[in-house]
Amino acid sequence: MKVKELSIPIIIPKLQTLLPRIDATHPKIPFMQADLAKLLKGYRGEKAVNYYLDFLPEKENFIIHSLRLPSGNYFFQIDFLILTNRYALILECKNFFGTLYFDEDFNQMIRTANDKEEGFQDPISQAKWHQQQLRSFLKLHNITLPIEFFVVISDPSTIVKTNPRNREAMKKVVHGHSLLEKISEVDSRYQNEMLDSKEVRKLSKLLLKSHTPEDIDVLAKYGLGVVDILTGVRCPGCGRIPMIRQKRTWNCCGCEVKEKNAHVSAVMEYFHLFGASITNKQFREFVHLESDTIAKKMLQAMNLPFSGSNKGRIYYDPMKR
DNA sequence: ACTTTCTACCCTTATAGCTG
DNA sequence: CAGCTATAAGGGTAGAAAGT
């Protein structure tokens, strides 16, 4: 059972919102594009892994995607957590291409691709770290449950190599297509029921409640300020910014697209860029609208959650409430 | 042709955020 | 800290535009 479904990491739509709204010559653009490409690749990998998880028996497995839990003053994020009444299984998804070499002597992973060698933090020790943190989380809530983990390589063409002495890597690093087989191996190894079905459900609820989604300020991340952002409504047809409002519709100066409600997505974009709230004035500035009354009517028509009255009115992102 | 929706006004009220 | 000011909402109206 999917307790928390696969969903796109919020940073992806945020970057997709940000990129078209900064000057094409901005020096940060290549970094953002590279980050976006990496994130999309990662998400595709998780999708691929998610596909296999659909084949697990519905009733016995509670699957949680992208779980971010507190650990002291910090957080740790697990790509997939599979919860059963006998054990918990962490899946650490990796989307590397090329040839991967797991070096247990230095806790390092070396990737060779396009005649280039690159070192990365060893995903096994990363997964172990998550295992340890989850262990203390469970301990904190007086729950005893063994925790297993796999490092899942989603790209089937990625070659995994290791020293034959490195039995751990051979056991723990798996390709997506052999994941189910590996899971059933683990499953048969754990026979003792640690929790009854009610307790498993309770634990999954506890985990979901403790899940704290990361709220990334994309502007801060790339050292951008309000001045770097191109404001205005974006044309849903050609992407051109800004659209001009005349005769009760938003008109694009590039293509001939007319869209009455183009400001709605602009508000969502505003939330992505500047945080989850907007005022009448911020809205007017962002969509290039003079009239506060029209702005008021538009914002009211969107039925956004709000706080305050009169001058103190603040509208909120419905996704965050 | 008739109805609905939207814009551009109006005035009043509440209050956030200054200013001294 | 009180008093002031600018701002945004509430609520209304007329007329234009759009929808049927």
pLDDT digits (tens, 9 = 90+) for A70-81: 998 999 999 999
| Arithmetic mean of pLDDT, A201-219 | 94
Report the pLDDT value the prediction gives residue A117, as an integer from 0 to 100.
95
Report the pLDDT value the prediction gives residue A302, as an integer from 0 to 100.
83
A260 Cβ contacts chain B strand, under 7 Å? yes
A210 Cβ contacts chain C strand, under 7 Å? no
Of A54-58, A90-94, A247-251, which range is least confident? A247-251
| Arithmetic mean of pLDDT, A30-51 | 96
Confidence of residue A317 (pLDDT cuts 50, 70, 90): confident
Place of tokens 């929790």: A195
Query: How large is the angle between the packed helices A29-53 and A179-189, nearest 10 degrees?
Result: 60
What are the structural domains of chain A? Answer: 2-210 (no CATH), 231-320 (1.10.10.10)
pLDDT of A151-178, one tens digit each? 999 999 999 999 888 888 889 999 999 9
A246 Cβ contacts chain B strand, under 7 Å? no
Calculate the angstrom distance between C1' of C7 and CA of A18. 29
Tell me the pTM. 0.86
Q: Does residue A141 register a pLDDT over 90?
A: yes
Residue nearest to nucleotide B15 (CA to C1'): A311
Percentage with pLDDT > 90 across chain A: 63
- Mean pLDDT of all residues belonging to chain A: 91
The residue among A64 and A170 whose pLDDT is bigger is: A64
Report the pLDDT value the prediction gives residue A299, as an integer from 0 to 100.
86
A298 Cβ contacts chain C strand, under 7 Å? no
Calculate the angstrom distance between C1' of C4 and CA of A296. 25
Confidence of residue A321 (pLDDT cuts 50, 70, 90): low
| Closest nucleotide C1' to the C-alpha of A292 | C8
The Cα A177–Cα A17 span in angstroms is: 34
Cβ neighbour number for residue A79 with a 10 Å cutoff: 23
Percentage with pLDDT > 70 across chain A: 100
Strand order in the sheet with A277-278: A277-278, A314-316, A306-307
A249 Cβ contacts chain C strand, under 7 Å? yes
Tokens of A115: 């005649």
Nucleotides in chain B near protein beta carbons (<7 Å):
6-10, 13-16
| Arithmetic mean of pLDDT, A257-265 | 83
| Closest nucleotide C1' to the C-alpha of A309 | C9
Confidence of residue A116 (pLDDT cuts 50, 70, 90): very high
A291 Cβ contacts chain B strand, under 7 Å? yes
A66 Cβ contacts chain C strand, under 7 Å? no
